[in-house]
Amino acid sequence: MSDSISPSNPIPLIQDVTRQELREWMVSQDLPAYRADQVYTWLYQRRVAGFGEMANLGKPAKFALGAHFRIGRLEPAEALHSKDGSIKYRFVLDDGRSIESVLMEHADHHTVCVSSQVGCAMGCDFCQTAKMGLVRNLTPGEIVMQVLAARCDLPDGGNLRNIVFMGMGEPFHNYANVMRALEIFTDEYGFNFSQRRITVSTSGLLPQIRKFGQERVKANLAVSLNGVTDEVRTQLMPVNRTYNLQRLVEACKAYPLASHRRITFEYILMKGVTDSVDDAKRLIRLLHGLKFKVNLIPYNEAPGSKYQRPDWEDVRAFQQHLLGRGVVATLRISKGQDVQGACGQLIVSKSTARPAEALPA
Ligand code: SF4
């Protein structure tokens, strides 16, 4: 079973449990293993709120489940609606900590951006979440419940197609729980998400990138690049002191990509810091030889931020330079900007913060 039981609620959360574990638990209770498959379908496809609603389960299974587990549910404490259709949610966890998720609207589908930690230890200089420091890791169920809540809030006929781990936290700093959440998201009896529709974004933790390449669930890898010299990247992202650009690129070259996949590099354009055509040229040289695409994100100024949004013509020039040299370069106009729900803008109560911890080994 999961080692990540909520600190304030000793009753295990059923959303922390993988289907295989639940099958084993059923057998330990003298119940047929397939009951676990049924429970998963009720939880993630029919989204019921109680074991009593799981009609085909039989009384013994319902009773045993009710005696051992609880079904968690995240209700938004706040939901801020952006002009572009995005919704930023704040959820309060069992221990009173808050996390944020964003539901983004696209032409024919939705994407949910989930948090993996309360706060973050990585200390990126441009990021609002970094100001909180790391408070704690989320359990697998707390990650899963963000997607359940977003799905419940979809408009009629809405199609939740993508999950991106780009909310609060460094997913690879909470590696085991994020992997368990991926298992639940892709389980055929559960959400049944396509592996291709899930993206995990890291600031560049090399040991975990290597490990991720060996996982059974092949979600997409995104790397937050943001600087194309060690000097600039270290200023923006302290992780670069431990894992510099050369080592990062080597790890990406060694990454076992599934066919027709690329690594996404996210690159935040900040005025006068990362937005010159010279930077675009360095980026191409740096990533030469990789199968990759670049996601350009014009910086979102937050109150008190020390970096500035780039000029539109510089954004265009940067993108055109990449496109002109055959680099796939998309421009992400951050969703939810007017509600501070865009990249690097998720932050909740500072009163829950503690100082950032040292980097994981
Ligand atoms: S950008 Fe990501 S990794 Fe860096 S501090 Fe913010 S949440 Fe953490």
Q: Which one of 129, 135, 340 would you pick to mutate in the ligand 1 pocket, going by the greatest count of ligand atoms within 8 A of its CB? A: 129
CA distance 62 to 343: 42
CA–CA separation, 293 and 262 (whole Å): 7
Give the per-residue pLDDT at 42: 97
Task: Indicate the burial class of 305 (C-beta count within 10 angstroms; 0-12, 13-18, 19 or more).
Answer: middle
Residue 203 half-sphere exposure toward CB, CA atoms < 13 A? 30
Q: What is the pLDDT of residue 305?
A: 83
CA-to-CA distance for 262 and 32, rounded, in angstroms?
Answer: 42
- 219 C-alpha to ligand 1 centroid (Å): 20
Mutation choice for ligand 1 from 118, 122, 300, CB with most ligand atoms inside 8 A: 122
Q: How far apart are CA 201 and CA 236, in angstroms?
A: 16
* Centre of ligand 1 from the C-alpha of residue 175, in Å: 15
* Domain at 14-68: CATH code: 1.10.150.530
Asked whether 200 and 219 are in contact (CB, 8 A), the reply is: yes
**Cα(40) to centroid(ligand 1), Å:** 32
User: Is 37 near ligand 1, meaning CB less than 6 Å away?
Assistant: no
- 342 Cβ inside 6 Å of ligand 1: no
pLDDT digit string (tens) for the chain, length 361 residues? 444 445 567 899 999 999 999 999 999 999 999 999 999 999 999 999 999 999 999 999 999 999 999 999 999 999 998 888 889 999 999 999 999 999 998 889 999 999 999 999 999 999 988 999 999 999 999 999 999 999 988 887 789 999 999 999 999 999 999 999 999 999 999 999 999 999 999 999 999 999 999 999 999 999 999 999 999 999 999 999 999 999 999 999 999 998 899 999 999 999 999 999 999 999 999 999 999 999 999 998 877 888 999 999 999 999 999 999 999 999 977 655 565 554 555 555 433 333 333 333 3
| d(C-alpha 135, C-alpha 216), whole Å | 29
The residues of the chain that CATH labels 1.10.150.530 are: 14-68
**76-352 homologous superfamily:** Aldolase class I (3.20.20.70)
> 107 alpha carbon to ligand 1 midpoint, in Å?
28
**pLDDT at residue number 84:** 82
Q: Which residues of 257-271 are buried (b: 16+ CB within 10 A; e: fewer)?
A: beeeeebbbbbbbbb
| Residue 127 Cβ < 6 Å to ligand 1 | yes
Q: Is 152 left (phi over 0), alpha (psi -120 to 50) or beta?
A: alpha
- Segment (H or E) for 246: helix 245-253
The finding on whether 124 has its CB within 6 A of some atom of ligand 1 is yes
Pocket test of ligand 1: the residue of 124, 241, 265 to mutate, having most ligand atoms within 8 Å of its CB, is 124
| pLDDT of 353 | 33
| Residues annotated catalytic, as ranges | 100, 343
Q: Is the CB of 120 under 6 A from ligand 1?
A: yes
DSSP state of 49: S
User: pTM (2 decimals)?
Assistant: 0.92
Q: Which part of the chain is CATH 3.20.20.70?
A: 76-352
d(CA 226, CA 222): 12
Query: Cβ(344) to ligand 1 under 6 A?
Result: yes
**How many Cα neighbours within 13 Å face the side chain of 261?**
18
- Nearest of 160, 71, 176 to residue 116 by alpha carbon: 176
